[in-house]
Amino acid sequence: MTDTVLIERRADELPQPTRFRSFAWSRAVGLLGAGLAAIGLAGADSTQIDSLGLLRVLPLLYYAGVALLVIGLVEELSVPRKRVTWFAVLVTLLVILLHGLPGFVEANPRFSTAYIHVGFIDQIASQGTLLPRLDARFSWPSFFSGGAVLQEVSGGAPVLWLVRFMPVVINLLAIAAILVLGRACRSPVQSARAAAVLYVLLNWVGQDYLSPQAVGFVLYLAIMCCVLVVFPGDPSDTRRWQRRWLHPRSRPGTGSTARGQGRCLLGLTVLAAVGVTAHQLTPGFLAASLILLGLLNQTRLRALGWSVVLMTAGWLGYAAEVFWRGQLNKVVGSFGQVDVLVQQNLGKRTGGSAGREVVVAGRLGLALVVAAATLVALAVLWRRRDVPVALATLVAAPIPMLVAAAYGGEMALRVFLFALPAASLLVAQVACPEGMWTRTRRVIVSAALVALVPLFVLARFGNESFEQVTPQDRAILSTVYDVAPDNSIVYQLNNISIQRFERLDEVRFRTLDASLDAKALTETVADSEPFTGRFIMVTHSQEEQGVELGGESPGWSAEIVAELLATGSFETVRRDGDAVLLRYIGSTG
């Protein structure tokens, strides 16, 4: 009886939507903002991309439009609504305008690695074979095989059409998962929706392109949703130490056995197997989260995490043998070596031009803000004895992966990415609680989110000077495939450049040591004897990467090309802007 009175009183105290607000001016503001941002995008010029990436390319109208859209979203969130339709429309527009940004501004789909993945998919679709000796990624083929099926279904042309807006699709799926996770962990609806907006503005990691890790991330979230919704832990199993130290949120009894759980478990096992065979790192995050959720009684599935461990070991041991044979030290050599791991994850990613340092500072700043906000949120919830232990587990579980391997300096990025959905939910629960959206809170939340927009653009698209694919670069690569005979080799000055787009086993790519002089470079090319065709491909991406990351002065690649031509051992096949293709014609000395 007392509870009923309390609930009624609380319902009375909730801010009631006024007629003006129920007309939803928030939606009008949001739509107006999206329209203005779209008009602003039409005026962006990709040739103006500089060391700060897209930040200065976008006109003020774009930023004003996105700011209005964010304000509209906050207003939409501030009114308790059960229907998700308008929130879904506005947040989808936000994802399209932020994560789909290069798709509107740049001439070609971005990022060289996505082109390589398209090439891998085409290899499987057209030849029906894997090439694990050519590239280790073929040892985890399920993503590429799935892509090949899609290519065949869609008419047989390479799936380059997927690349341009893949980040939009991946982030929309992640948002859906965040909403489900929030519901599974009994987060208020408004908080879960606010978490989705936070996630969109904080996910600067850029692992959402056409890649196994992007699909692996979505699989991970789908499995976590399924585990927490269908197989939640039984509160009667909670240990005394857990109540005392973790201050878990009270949950209703979930001891019933619903029908179909066995089939669901089999489905989950199959999904986990797909994750294990798709990407090297995803199973690590999956196993860590599942095992920890089981240990803390957040799920009744205690064995699934260990199954993932065994499946991973089995796949690595038997199916990915080519990958680890001869390079075991490279794979696990940095295990537990903190200095090496810090150097790889942090030192290797910092440095470069002045603009590059600003970009890296923006990224580190955003990551630190997320970490600090998550810790504060956890402390607040702990004091309230209302900790959603499952979410806290999903934030903590990826962290041990930091000491497992450096993974080319990318492990810290992956840990941030995998912890971000749950971290967003925790922060939103404290910053945007249900029914407490006063005018002041709305203004503060709107201002904070609007301030994140330029920071997001800086951190997410700060590498566009060398990650964009210019029309000249694509034309040069097309020329390579037109003129290179079977069994050719194409040298590059560094590895960030479109390559391996087709004819994977007939045209190989290698990177030259650009610090060598022209004579030494010529000797390197001349020594690649078994190859019938020998080329050097210089692209705009290589030039920009050298300037931004390598500390080279602008025009360095053109100087090398001039020196190589001066040796008389090369001829120009094609020159298009700062993209050049040279053919080795033999030593004149």
Q: Which of 145, 261, 479, 524 binds other proteins (CB under 8 A)?
A: 261
Is residue 511 at the binding interface for other proteins, with CB under 8 A as the rule? no
Residue 128 in contact with other proteins, rule: CB under 8 A = no
241 touches other proteins by CB under 8 A: no
The answer to whether residue 581 forms part of the interface with other proteins (CB under 8 A) is no
Measured CA to CA in angstroms, residue 572 lies from 144, 524, 526, 536, 581 at distances of 35, 18, 16, 10, 6
Q: Return d(Cα 387, Cα 403) in angstroms, integer.
A: 27
- Told to check if 253 binds other proteins by CB under 8 A, we report yes
**Residue 208 CA to its chain's centroid (Å):** 4
- Binding residues for other proteins, total number by CB under 8 A: 32
Residue type for position 239: R
Told to check if 43 binds other proteins by CB under 8 A, we report: no
3-state secondary structure of 551: coil
The answer to whether residue 8 forms part of the interface with other proteins (CB under 8 A) is no
Told to check if 324 binds other proteins by CB under 8 A, we report: yes
CB of 386 to other proteins, least distance (A): 23
Q: Least separation, in Å, of the C-beta of 233 and other proteins?
A: 9
For the bound state, the minimum distance from the C-beta of residue 238 to other proteins, rounded and expressed in Å, comes to 10
The 3 state secondary structure assigned to 290-330 is HHHHHHCCCECCCCHHHHHHHHHHHHHHHHCHHHHCCCHHH
* 236 touches other proteins (CB under 8 A): yes
Residue 240 makes contact with other proteins by CB under 8 A:
no
Q: Examine residue 244 and tell whether it contacts other proteins (CB under 8 A).
A: no
What are the Cα distances from residue 109, in Å, to 167, 267, 416, 472?
A: 11, 34, 25, 13
Q: Is 295 in the site for other proteins (CB under 8 A)?
A: no
Rule CB under 8 A: say whether 252 interacts with other proteins.
no
Which of 96, 124, 316, 391 is in the footprint of other proteins by CB under 8 A? 316
The angle formed by the CA atoms of residues 62, 66 and 68, to the nearest 5 degrees, is: 115
Helices then strands, counting H and E runs in the chain, come out as 28, 5
| Contact between 542 and 534 (Cβ < 8 Å) | no
Tokens representing 231 are 């197989």
Residue 245 binds other proteins (CB under 8 A) = no
Judged by CB, which is closer to other proteins: 4, or 236?
236
Interface residue with other proteins, options 9, 240, 244, 325 (CB under 8 A): 325
Cα-Cα-Cα-Cα dihedral sign, residues 152, 158, 160, 161? negative
Which among 46-54, 307-315, 402-410, 521-529 is the span making contact with other proteins, rule CB under 8 A?
A: 307-315
530 binds other proteins (CB under 8 A): no
CB of 236 to other proteins, least distance (A): 5
The sheet carrying 579-584 orders its strands as 507-511, 488-492, 533-538, 579-584, 570-576
| Residue from 23, 245, 306, 335 in contact with other proteins (CB under 8 A) | 306
Closer of 32 and 271 to other proteins (Cβ):
271
Comparison of 82 and 240: residue with beta carbon closer to other proteins = 240
Contact pick of 43, 156, 255, 347 for other proteins (by CB under 8 A): 255
Distance in angstroms (rounded) separating the CA atoms of residues 189 and 195: 10
Short-list 390, 221, 225, CA closest to 293: 390
Number of neighbours of residue 572 by Cβ within 10 angstroms = 12
Coil, strand or helix at 489: strand
Tell me the three state secondary structure of residue 72: helix
Q: Under the criterion CB under 8 A, does residue 155 sit at the interface with other proteins?
A: no
**CB closer to other proteins, 113 vs 142:** 142
* Least distance to other proteins, CB of residue 269, Å: 6
Using the rule CB under 8 A, which residue among 56, 247, 251, 302 binds other proteins? Answer: 302
Pick from 257, 440, 515, 588 the residue near other proteins by CB under 8 A: 257
**Amino acid sitting at position 493:** L
Asked if residue 262 binds other proteins (CB under 8 A), the reply is: yes
Is residue 23 classed exposed, middle or buried when 0-12, 13-18 and 19+ CB atoms within 10 A define those classes? exposed
256 part of the interface to other proteins, by CB under 8 A: yes
* Other C-beta atoms lying within 10 Å of the C-beta of residue 483: 14
Q: Which residues bind other proteins (CB under 8 A)?
A: 231, 234, 236-237, 253, 255-257, 261-262, 265-266, 269, 300-304, 306-307, 310-311, 313-314, 316-318, 321, 324-326, 328
